[in-house]
Amino acid sequence: MIIMEANRQLTLFINGENLHDLPFNLDIDGKRYVCTEVLRLLPTKRLVVKAHSGDQQLVIKLFAKNKKGERELVRELLGYQRVEKTGVKTPQLLFSLEEFSGCCAVAYQYLEQALPVDSGSPLESLEQLSDLLFELTAKLHQSGCYQSDYHLDNILIVDEKYFLIDLASIKCPQENEQLDKNESLANLALLIAQFKGLQQHYLRQNIQGYYQQRGWPFDQSEQNRIELAIDKAWLKRKVNYISKCFRSCTMTRYNKTFSYEYGFRDAFIKATGADFIDNIEGLMSQGEMLKDGNSATVVRVNYAGIDLVIKRYNIKSFWHFIKRCFRPSRAAVSWRNANLLELIGVATPAPFGFFEKRFLGLRYTAYFMSAYSPAKELLNIYQQKKPTEDELKQIKKIFSLLQQYQIAHGDLKAQNLLLDEQGRVLLIDLDAMKEYNDLDSFHAAFAKDKARFLRNWQDPKINAIFMALNV
């Protein structure tokens, strides 16, 4: 293991180059820190590392001075001072520097065994800690502050205590005054909208806890008010998240020309390289055939150490091309819908990306890539055994979330529900899935989904189990 020359990595960071070698040294104010992990990297702008000096573990944030680093440092320190006054827990500030090898720097204590309040947290855990979550938010608001960039990585849990981080995003419109009600509820709604379906539903049901912290009445009018605020915050978050799937950002590598269009998870395309796109047909010819249909071909491929499924949507004829070329490809629709399911908490194979070939800008053959999950169709499994209680709970959850977000799958045959080796029920084949704004249209489409699902089970005993489940 090679320790890089002290502070040389900062030059790479400032120049926008990747940091490949860990660990590396930082010599700060006559003291050497060994950086062992990159926690966040925005090339040329911000670098966050985990480091140690002797037995001391810390997090060091570095801001490039030529990218307004001094302003970022001021915002960070001001946010820390504001949060300290509120009584909300935050990692201890260890040092700050205005000048350090072309950067500004600030360091905090590293919280051992800290976990983010991510939306994959079990509902039982959220039930235990929701009061603390509302207490944290109420303390900020009572002190006139709010977290303007609420996302669940900015709240850490250690021993059932919440710690707030990313303090540069702390705003305080009026010092020494409580945050007014409109701003408070909008910020609370922003927080709740970060959680996935069932967790979000639970917080909505228990939001009275926040009102009690603020000493406000919670009547029907207030319930309607906060529900509208959460719906608005959720819609904004969803639109922003889905838009990231079709533009280049830290999450997605996207490009569009007259010859092709693609969007890939950035981590996937970094691992495979651009050759993956150029060789996609060759890779399919060497892969394991899972389905050789007229409208779609599905192949399992192992490439760059990644086990994935490529689904090619075929153009069957000239008239089929004319019918499809002006519409979003089924691959792009699957990519969008898989990301949407991940966002709301419905299990589906991890989406890697989509790729469309174009002729003079017109779409023809398209490909959707996702993770390969060793799994079997529920239709085959339940011919051999009855569903377990956990499997029934997962199936009911899928239907509940689709109903909560007014989504119809469009083809809910049992072959499109898989059970993987970890016991997860996965929903696949998403190119007919659709969101509905009109409630009547949704109810009609959702009723068709349920009827299609129930028609799968020829065994009267299995059918009776799903009828009783009342999906």
| Domain around 101 | 8-109
Q: Is residue 242 part of a domain?
A: no
Q: Is residue 45 part of a domain?
A: yes
Do 256 and 357 fall within a single domain?
Answer: yes
Residues 242 and 251: their CA atoms lie apart, in Å, by 11
Count of beta carbons in the 10 Å neighbourhood of residue 424 = 16
Q: Is residue 244 part of a domain?
A: no
The most confident of the ranges 44-48, 155-159, 250-254 is 250-254
Do 229 and 269 fall within a single domain?
Answer: no
Average pLDDT, integer, range 386-413: 93
Q: Is residue 3 part of a domain?
A: no
Do 337 and 414 fall within a single domain?
Answer: no
Q: Is residue 283 part of a domain?
A: yes
Which of 209, 236, 263 is the last residue in one of the domains? Answer: 236
The model's confidence at residue 1, banded by pLDDT at 50, 70 and 90, is very low
Do 269 and 363 fall within a single domain?
Answer: yes
Q: Amino acid identity of 356?
A: E
Which of 54, 74, 109 is the last residue in one of the domains? Answer: 109
Q: Is residue 2 part of a domain?
A: no
Q: Is residue 354 part of a domain?
A: yes
Q: How far is CA 217 from CA 131, 132, 210, 213, in A?
A: 17, 20, 11, 11
Q: H or E stretch including 292?
A: strand 288-292
Domain CATH for 414: 1.10.510
Q: Give SS3 for 175.
A: coil
Average pLDDT, integer, range 375-401: 92
Do 455 and 415 fall within a single domain?
Answer: yes
Q: With contact defined as beta carbons under 8 Å apart, do 46 and 65 qualify?
A: no
Number of structural domains found in the chain: 4
Lowest mean pLDDT among 84-98, 273-287, 380-394, 442-456: 273-287
Per-residue pLDDT of 327-340, as tens digits, reads 778 899 999 999 99
Count of beta carbons in the 10 Å neighbourhood of residue 345 = 19
Distance of CA 446 to the CA centre of its chain: 25
Do 230 and 146 fall within a single domain?
Answer: yes
Do 272 and 360 fall within a single domain?
Answer: yes
Helix axes 123-142, 197-205, angle to 10 degrees: 60
Q: Give SS3 for 221.
A: helix
The model's confidence at residue 118, banded by pLDDT at 50, 70 and 90, is low
Burial tier of 338 (Cβ tally within 10 Å: 0-12, 13-18, 19+): buried
Do 305 and 395 fall within a single domain?
Answer: no
Do 142 and 181 fall within a single domain?
Answer: yes
Do 100 and 131 fall within a single domain?
Answer: no
Per-residue pLDDT of 338-372, as tens digits, reads 999 999 999 999 999 999 887 666 667 889 999 99
Q: Amino acid identity of 229?
A: A
Per-residue pLDDT for 300 more than 80?
A: yes
Do 279 and 316 fall within a single domain?
Answer: yes
Lowest mean pLDDT among 187-196, 342-351, 393-402, 455-464: 455-464
Question: What pLDDT score does 119 carry?
Answer: 44
Radius of gyration of the chain (CA): 25
Domain CATH for 49: 3.30.200.20
Count of beta carbons in the 10 Å neighbourhood of residue 390 = 11
Residues 6+ apart with CB under 8 A from 299: 283, 284, 287, 288, 289, 290, 309, 310, 312
Q: Is residue 149 part of a domain?
A: yes
Do 425 and 398 fall within a single domain?
Answer: yes
